[in-house]
A and B are shown apart, each in its own frame.
Chain A
Amino acid sequence: MKSSRTGREGLTAYLFLSPWLIGIVLLTLGPMLYSAYLAFTSYDLLSPPRWIGLDNFRRMFTADPRYLSSVRVTLVYVVVSVPLLLVLSMVLALLLNKGIRFLSGYRALFYLPSLMGASVAIAVLWRQIFGGTGLVNQVLSLFGITRGSWVGSPGTALWTIVTLNLWAFGATMIIFLAGLRQVPVELHEAAAVDGAGPIRRFFSVTLPLMTPLIFFNLLLDTIHAFQAFTGAFVVSRGSGGPADSTLFYTLYLYQQGFAELKMGYASAMAWTLVIVLAAFTGFLFLTAKRWVYYGDER
């Protein structure tokens, strides 16, 4: 009697779960498996896929300089923008953690860019701000500095996208802020009694207790940075230019799949990215044992 009731409850539970289950099988797992198959084919969307074994992967690493260029651009972006974002978010969270007036107003204000996110509209605005006659150059000209377009020059275009990413610091900052509120005041007081100044207290008390959240944000922001697309697409108008200086991995993947109709190659690129991200995540988890502290547990 009891087991039949449990079984009925289980069935009901699965019935309620079925929309999600059907969705994940039909719209996620199925397509994923199919794209894994496509990675080993030559497929132009309009003709049937043709099996070519590892040719797509071989071409990627040995015969496609633009692919390597996209990897280089993306790595520079990840290595520069993620640490900058973490530091900026932490600094602002520390400032907002003080008992200053209008604190909640500042918090809302600082979070606002994240609500808008790195959207298309903001990226379009970025193009205007960093253009030859944009706001940045107009301000610089007040100090007698004249220079050309920031988005139009290969030397600076990538950095405008890094700033676009930094601008949406709110989500990372809010997580840090929540963590800072949890740091026990008595630890700070004890350290202060022992003669520790604010900087020493930050590095010896706050920072170690914040490592789980730093780990969390590092992971999320890095994955996000590897996937960056919108900013580069809008700022370079889909070209990855000037001179491939903003050719992000996902942008090149998009070009290959939808402009050049090389969907097999694009699938191979997508799966390579998945594997790299999985490896990177695994690596971070391995290193986490050495630098992430969970309370009294090491």
Chain B
Amino acid sequence: MRRRIGTTALACATLLVFAGCNGTSVTNDNAGGGSDGKDGKGEVTGKLQLTFWGGAARAQKTNAVADMFVKEHSGVTIDRQNADFGNYFNKLNIQASSHTLPCVMQLQGRQLNDYTKRKVLLPLDPMIESGAIKVDDIPKEIVDTGRGPDGKLYFLPYGAAYDAVGVNQTMAEQAGVGLPPDGYDWTQYTEWITKASAKLPKGTFAAGSRGGLPNFFIAYQLANGKQLFTDDGKLGFTKESLVEYWNMWEKLRTAGTTMGADAQADEPEGAEQGFIAQGKLLTDSIPGNALTPASATLASKPGEQKLTTLPMPSGPSGGGNAMFTSGFAIPTNCDNIPTAAAFIDFFTNNPEAGAAFKSDNGAATNQKVLQAQVDDPKLAPLKKHELELYQQIVAKKPPTILYPPGYQATFESAFTRAYEEVAFGKKSVQQAADSFFTEANAGLGG
């Protein structure tokens, strides 16, 4: 029994300490390759570690690109690591604490500043100036999504994703409501949902209980021209706007227009398994690049139903879309910067690499690579729709959101939880907004 108690202590302590026993500063700018290596110039050879998130399909495509790079550069070997999105960042944090971050590490804007704050990433600007990494064919506003609060570029976006409103076209036609009009706003969207709700078959809902989905809320704020975060990384919008937003969703939920909160909590993870992909919802927010896999799931259900995607609802300030880019960064502990820079450039700009990766993680940011895919007669119609919608959105120059440190861990989880408390009747909208503001402002920015 005593041993068991010991195990308790050890289980916790070992877990904690294993993660932290190398917890010395990683702020020392001791990147390998010497000072001259930081411009990314030098011999492209030796070992490289590459880490990214994604399932088997993405791993296969990423590996194909890595193989192409190795073939072009004899003497390079690439050790690849991948994990699902949730666990990826936990693993990255452990690697960062022990100075063993892989030389090429995938990042997103939403987590970027957790790492820039701790100074574990190398700025890529000197590598762009030296020509080791090229950004000529990437729109400036997309490149800028890889910048930290100090204005330096810390990851080079290779794929730009956007959130879209998914609509089950078949269901909409059967309900006689068609699609929302071009340039529709939030009022038109909720009216359209309400109108369709009465005409949908039993067991299906017009929309999910989505008041707790951060990306929908961000779209709402952008469309209304509100600032999301202040310069010091705290909440930039007002409590009143959040109350107004949650009241909108509560009105729909309590009227039975949307799915109930407990049923929503049952939704499987991953857009390709979500309720809209299963034919249970008329509309929902889905990642723009999830149209193809979600449609494949829906096609496997009876009724030959079809999905399409629309831009996010607009508002007085225009569209509600923002870009979520993914790209590769180089950590300060990297000892093979020239090869890392060459790989990032290859992955992002090489036409053959782009063709092999097939915009799997958002549309290719290199416009030539993207256009080649759009122009490809063999491109599947759904993928073509995904890429064309991306081009439409990016043409409107969507704003860049500078996500503060702690965004994912604090903002997203607190936002979802606060709305859950409303939907399950534990708090009023005002109380939930109060506690969300307190929690988010305490954890954000740092």
Contact = CB atoms under 8 A, between A and B. Distances in A.
Contact of A227 (B8, B260, B266): B8
A219 interface: yes
B11 interface: yes
A161 to B, nearest CB: 14
Interface in A27-53: 27-28, 30-32, 34-36, 38, 43-49
A239 B417 contact: yes
Contacts of B20: 34-35, 38, 43, 45, 49, 263, 267
Contact of A35 (B2, B13, B261, B417): B13
B265 A149 contact: yes
B265 A31 contact: no
Nearest to A263: B20
Nearest to A63: B442
Contacts of A260: 406, 409-410, 443
Given A47-B25, A48-B25, A243-B426, A227 B11 contact: yes
Contacts of B18: 31
Given A45-B94, A152-B262, A34 B118 contact: no
Contacts, number: 167
Given A154-B424, A223-B4, A34 B19 contact: no
A148 B260 CA distance: 9
A231 interface: no
A220 B336 CA distance: 51
Interface residues of B, number: 54
Nearest to A130: B266
Given A48-B23, A153-B424, A237-B269, A277 B8 contact: yes
A270 B16 contact: yes
Interface string A241-259: 1111000001001010111
Contacts of B260: 148
Nearest to B11: A227
Contacts of A132: 262-263, 266
Contacts of B13: 28, 31-32, 35-36, 267, 270-271, 274
Contacts of B11: 227
A151 B24 CA distance: 42
Interface of B: 1-2, 4-5, 8-21, 23-27, 86, 90, 93-94, 96-97, 114-115, 118, 120, 260-266, 269, 406, 408-410, 413, 416-417, 420-421, 424, 426, 435, 443
Given A32-B10, A46-B93, 17 more contacts: A34-B17, A38-B23, A43-B23, A46-B97, A133-B266, A149-B263, A153-B424, A154-B426, A220-B4, A241-B420, A258-B90, A259-B413, A263-B19, A263-B23, A267-B17, A270-B15, A281-B2
26 contacts: A28-B13, A31-B21, A32-B14, A35-B13, A35-B20, A38-B20, A38-B23, A44-B118, A45-B23, A45-B94, A49-B23, A151-B265, A238-B86, A242-B261, A242-B424, A243-B420, A257-B15, A257-B16, A258-B93, A259-B408, A261-B93, A270-B15, A273-B8, A274-B8, A274-B9, A277-B5
Closest 5 CB pairs of A and B: A31-B17, A152-B265, A270-B12, A46-B118, A152-B262
